[in-house]
Amino acid sequence: MPEPEEWTIPEVALAVDLAVLTIHDGSLQIMLIRRGIPPYEGMLALPGGFLASTSEDLDRAATRELSEETGLDANALHLEQLRTYGAPGRDPRQRVITVCYVAFSPQLPAPIAGGDARDAVLMPVEKVLRPRTQIAFDHKKIIADAVERARAKLEYTTLAAAFCAPEFTMTDLREVYEIVWGEQLDPRNFHRKITGVEGFLIPTGERVSRQPGRPAALYRRGPATVLHPAMLRGRS
């Protein structure tokens, strides 16, 4: 590191943005808020905001913004740093560097849109990423990166279970993969593969009947975090 004494250190505004992904209505959705003031007034953007004070930790700022803007309990969610975006001009007001985080949330109890939070909405990422959809700042690119992160992590980690309720069936879990990857998986091979990964799932012993057909076993998340061998996507 060079010496700050040598010149004036330009100070920049530092923000934290959040890409909260969840599964809703059979599709991968992202939490967005509608902006109330310029720039990009009325447009959809990622929840986020500036550092509250010079001494606030980055991770802490992320969890704070998440609960402030969406009312979600960030402690219950897995939050991880995605990437930092800092192109000059990405915010028309001034130079803003934003450290982005991704979170993976189970189906939300629905207090989201129009709830206690300002104006948070869920939108399918497939719709967000369409060329014609307009999103504030460079947030569309950030969302694309977040989705790609989620897709990649399903391959070699047990992240998929983070999208499920505390107790879930094998089909619930398989649908996470199918929805996030946009690809059908063979239920039988999936079942065998997942049960073969030590520590991924813990059977509760309970069963549920949600459709006609044999009732499915219920599972809880196990301690494993990595998938070995990995679940591979079809080559594309």
Partner DNA sequence: GCAAAAGTGTTGTTGATACACCCATGT
Partner DNA sequence: ACATGGGTGTATCAACAACACTTTTGC
- Residues making contact with DNA (CB under 7 A): 169-171, 186-189, 191-193, 195-196, 207, 209, 211-217, 229-232, 234
Indicate whether 149 belongs to the interface with a copy of itself (CB under 8 A): no
Whole-angstrom distance, CA of residue 156 vs CA of residue 147: 15
Q: How wide is the angle at C-alpha 81 spanned by C-alphas 75 and 87, nearest 5°?
A: 135
CB contact at 8 A, 47 and 139: no
Would you state the torsion angle of the CA atoms of residues 106, 107, 110, 114, taken in this order, to the nearest 10 degrees?
Answer: 70
Q: Given the complex with DNA, which of 83 and 233 has the nearer CB atom?
A: 233
Q: Given the complex with a copy of itself, which of 9 and 110 has the nearer CB atom?
A: 9
Q: Which residues pair with 101 in a beta bridge?
A: 18, 81
DSSP designation for 234: P
Q: Given the complex with a copy of itself, which of 11 and 116 has the nearer CB atom?
A: 11
CB of 44 to a copy of itself, least distance (A): 11
Indicate whether 199 belongs to the interface with a copy of itself (CB under 8 A): no
Residue 170's binding partner, choosing from a copy of itself, DNA, none, with beta-carbon cut-off 5 to 8 A by kind?
Answer: DNA
Peptide bond before residue 39 is cis, with ω within 30 degrees of 0: yes
CB of 66 to a copy of itself, least distance (A): 12
**x-or-dash string of contact with a copy of itself, 30-69, rule CB under 8 A:** -----xxx-------xx-xxxxxxxxxxx------x---x
Stretch touching a copy of itself by CB under 8 A, among 12-20, 103-111, 158-166, 170-178: 12-20
CA distances from 1 to 8, 96, 129, 206 (A): 15, 22, 39, 58
Q: Given the complex with DNA, which of 213 and 223 has the nearer CB atom?
A: 213
Q: Look up residue 177 and give its amino acid.
A: Y
Burial of 200 (0-12, 13-18, 19+ CB in 10 A): buried
Q: If residue 126 lies in a helix (H) or strand (E), which one and from where to where?
A: helix 125-128
Residues between 109 and 138 with contacts to a copy of itself, criterion CB under 8 A: 136-137
Residue 4's binding partner, choosing from DNA, a copy of itself, none, with beta-carbon cut-off 5 to 8 A by kind?
Answer: a copy of itself
Q: Given the complex with a copy of itself, which of 87 and 165 has the nearer CB atom?
A: 87
Integer-rounded Cα Rg, in Å, for the chain is 20
Stretch touching a copy of itself by CB under 8 A, among 1-9, 19-27, 169-177, 201-209: 1-9
CB of 37 to a copy of itself, least distance (A): 5
